[in-house]
Amino acid sequence: MDEETGPGGLVSESTLNGMQVIAIILILTAAINFVNLATAQSVKRAKEIGIRKVLGSNKSHLVIQFLGEVFLITSASVILSLGLSEGALIKLEPLLGYDLGLNLLAEPGIIFFLLGLIVAVTMLAGFYPAMVLANYNPVHAIKNSSMNRATGQGLSVRRVLVVAQFFISQILIIGTLVIVFQMSFIQNKELGFDTEAILTFSIPERTAEKMSLLKSRLAGISGVGETSFYLASPGGANTNNIDDIKNPDNAEETFNANRKNVDHNYANLFDLELLAGEFYREESPGDRTVLNRKFTEQLGYTDPQQAVGQRFETRWGQTYIINGVVEDFHNLALWSGMEPVYMMSGPSQYFEGGVKLRIDEGYKQAIAQIESIWNDVFTEDVFTYQFLDERIAQQYESEQQISGLLQVFAGLAIFIGCLGLYGLVSFMANQKVKEIGIRKVLGATVTGIINIFSKEVLVLLGIAFLLAGPVGYYAMKVYYLDNYVYSISIGLPVFAVAIVATVIIAAGTVGFRAFKAATANPIKALRDD
């Protein structure tokens, strides 16, 4: 995975690209929202436009005026956002793990970007409302007569824009749910080895004397159970050696296997399941090895017991005798498949040690004793340790970060979408003022009038969901889940939660504006100006 270097560390290129795409989507959603709200308020400016046209203003003058208004609003928003962004970036530093901050003087490119952004957003958000306003018929505008003929097409455009907003919102909700469910799946998946209360630490000097002294002294701590030295613990993308193994049926063919140099107590520490034979002993010859099930299958043995006592050869001519077979375990992160693994002794390769802490004993006291002993053995090095479950969790830290950011962005997109929906319902209410007044005079209830607006909104949300469902499924399947060998299936719960959440939020928005229209005084609605 390509990475970009920043002041606080490394950021994956895919994470940066994802953030850029989401930022563009949010800007687009906000621009759509502005179009909806601006055109929803256009009826209230009808007389102003009519008078300006009667006094000699032409369409270009009006367009320039409205674009100027949008430019001022956008500029003020950018200035305000700079201050808010600085505060937000400070809050995001712990979440992302990077040093963030704005320094416009040191980065003049940001200034040019912001200027370009102001112009782009002004044109994107302001051009259509400006054209709608400039095209009003001055006679109809001054008389304040029905604007249906002038704005019928605008209403259709607004419907399309609302569908677009909720299309984006629902895709973000689907993406967030998929990542959350996948992270839950990973955290609860059986890895084939024990991770609980296993403390790992480095071994800076791999001499027999040092390691023997360390192991004997660690055994005297009451809070410590099993102890093992090894090249790498299972379940992580840490250092392992890859060897080419000859195919027993065809010496010209080879397959890759992961070699782990471990001591005789490795299986006990990580609770690996022994299927056949036994783990090699401390005094066993150096050519004894233990395989996982995947390795024996690659050698052609369907029954692990058949492999015990057999030999295999590497491409470089080393021959090993199979002492035992263990059940498959996830040697690497879950975006990798199950690999052939063989374990053998090799003290010169024991870069790491691990101890099982007893749950019924005090952790802090045991760790303090381990540190004291380690410092006595390795006097010139600094003791560092990490729990195995925390180390494994760190492999998925970027996904957790993206999940958190997606939740924030999805919330923003929904909020912006609801503003756009509010604008659409406001426009519909302005158009239906007299209709609502007549219905109320004829006995229509508030609930019945609210239903007039709700039915159309539900249709728009349904269209948005029908479009967002397949797109969200494809995007998350191809660009996210396919990166994992072990992943969830995107099922009905994901889509059900997405549409239900959207409908509930939208219903609150529509209900508020529709209730306001339904409870208005019908006399004012029916009275001619």
Q: What does the pLDDT look like over 414-453, one tens digit per residue?
A: 777 777 777 767 766 666 666 777 777 777 777 777 777 7
The reported pTM is: 0.71
pLDDT band at 301 (very low <50, low <70, confident <90, very high): very high
Phi/psi at 358 (5° precision): -75, 125
The winner for highest mean pLDDT among 188-197, 247-256, 412-421, 499-508 is: 188-197
Q: Answer yes or no: are the C-beta atoms of 320 and 288 closer than 8 Å.
A: yes
pLDDT band at 228 (very low <50, low <70, confident <90, very high): very high
Instruction: Render pLDDT for 357-368 as a digit per residue (tens, 0 to 9).
Output: 987 767 888 899
pLDDT band at 522 (very low <50, low <70, confident <90, very high): low
Q: What is the pLDDT of residue 306?
A: 93
Q: What is the pLDDT of residue 270?
A: 94
pLDDT exceeds 60 at position 144: no
Other CB atoms within 10 Å distance of the CB of residue 61: 13
Question: Among 123-137, 206-220, 304-318, 493-507, where is mean pLDDT lowest?
Answer: 123-137
Phi/psi at 230 (5° precision): -165, 175
Q: What dihedral angle (degrees, nearest 10) is formed by the CA atoms of 16, 18, 23, 29?
A: 170
Q: What is the mean predicted confidence (pLDDT) over 205-217? A: 89
**In the predicted model, what is the mean pLDDT of the chain?**
80
Dist. CA 469–CA 490, nearest whole Å: 11
Q: Answer yes or no: are the C-beta atoms of 62 and 52 closer than 8 Å.
A: yes
The winner for highest mean pLDDT among 11-20, 82-91, 200-209, 414-423 is: 200-209
Q: What is the pLDDT of residue 130?
A: 74
Relative orientation angle of helices 492-518 and 148-188, to the nearest 10 degrees: 140
Q: Which of 320, 282, 323, 329 is nearest to 304 (CA)?
A: 323
**Which is higher by pLDDT, 370 or 152?**
370
Q: What is the pLDDT of residue 323?
A: 95
